Structure 1
Amino acid sequence: MNKFSKSILMICLITFVGFRINAQTVTIDNYYNQETKKDKSGNMVTFHYQWNETEMSGFSIFGEAFKKNGAKELKTLSAAPDEAKLKGTDIFIIVDPDNLKDNAKPNYVNEAEASAIAKWVKAGGVLLLMANDEVNADLEHLNILTSKFGFTFNKDLILHVTDDQHFADGEISIENNPIFKTAKHVFIKDASSIKINHSAKPVLKTTDGKNVMVSVKYGKGTVLAVGDPWLYNEYVNGRLPVKYDNDKAANDIASWLIKQIP
């Protein structure tokens, strides 16, 4: 092999290795959120905020936004997160942790798991937390985790929308935002607000000043939190009035999260 051929081979190897290192893996939790239902055949199946779920309640569109922005793999974690299970994950998403209304035997966040997740973030992990209002999610135990990052979810109800004809009740207008580069008006329905205790910074607020979304740098990692799982298929599939940019917001968030990976 001549010098020119060796140089070409070396460039190809460096490019391949670089691609493998920079390929991003996005993992969604299916342990704290583990709702089930019967399918058409009568089998019990997992549903609600799943990558492969194309129904209104799924995250298939949000998953495509991550792929569009460079994610190599979308994974699901159905066991309690720890250091070993989070290894290889660049972005970890916890959505709407179960309460007794959702699951007869919910898996609540505990101190050991919260510490393991926080350690993973500190080492460079990117964590997205999408809660819900208190009636529909377990905020008490989720706050064991969030308190490590300087904020907690409040047990309240903001952006309450009585029916989908009153979209303005859930409207948030966006200007000069570090995360939302293309979305200008978004719709978020029935969320919990967020109390900043220290460190975290507001990203989105209601018109009366309540925090809807916050972010925080934690060691080498990043945490983004919002009070609702608002980017599931029902609200990003184009059915909202044309004014609302939830589909663009899904892309903006996916893009921003991937850019936070060290």
Structure 2
Amino acid sequence: MQPNPLDPVAGERLSHADRIFTSDLTVNEFVLLHGAGFEPIDLVMGVSVYHVGFQFSGLRQQMELTVLTEATYRARWNAMARMQAEADNVGADGVVGVELYWRAHGESGEHLEFIAVGTAVRYAAQPGAFRRPNGQAFSSHLSGQDLITLLRAGWAPVAFVMGNCVFHVAAQGFLQTMRQIGQNVEMPQWTQGNYQARELAMSRMQAEAERDGAKGVVGVFTAVDNYCWGFHTLEFYAAGTAVRQTGAGEAIEPSFVLPMSG
């Protein structure tokens, strides 16, 4: 992800980050990360309200809707880039607990708001040790507990990566519908449509990880949504944290271990 200009309003808020930190970390996450040498700096976020364009497709066409795929990806990318800009502005080594979600904006169904939120942290023992090769802060959706486990095993987060595909599933004909009444039968256009959408989204997520020099993606999760497009159009979305192996000198050991809850 390339550097993005910092929003002036965000810059004013972040100018006070050296006085008091704000975080969405749970108490356990905060204490565990702090014990491992990570200091929270501030809550960082990015927002993008996007008008999703309309793309015509035939009712009987099985196809990716590239206009809609690009719109929903670009909106997410804008939100992530603005969150990244805030983290880089405060000199963070990383952003942990990243959440990227959406909501309908206003009364118009084609307006979507994508929001990225996370906690910027600094590795006090060796600032910069866990940043990406280009100097930017890493980003990860992993919990504080999972992040420490990852680091102790000799792996480090690189970036929150994602891929998506908006796909139109063809409507079946009237005669086929009539033949299926009361029958147990697979619906091949839905099976293949979902397969194609998933494969495209997953391959795009993996391509982002390869672009960032990662060796793998952990904590992968998926979501399917129709937004405002109707029953036959869906978006398949995949995301996770890209990781790399670290040198022996980068592995960390927390100064304590939290007791297991009963």
Interval of TM-score (by shorter of Structure 1 and Structure 2): under 0.3
Q: TM-score, normalised by structure 1?
A: 0.25
Larger Rg: 2
Q: TM-score, normalised by structure 2?
A: 0.25
More strand as a share of residues: 2
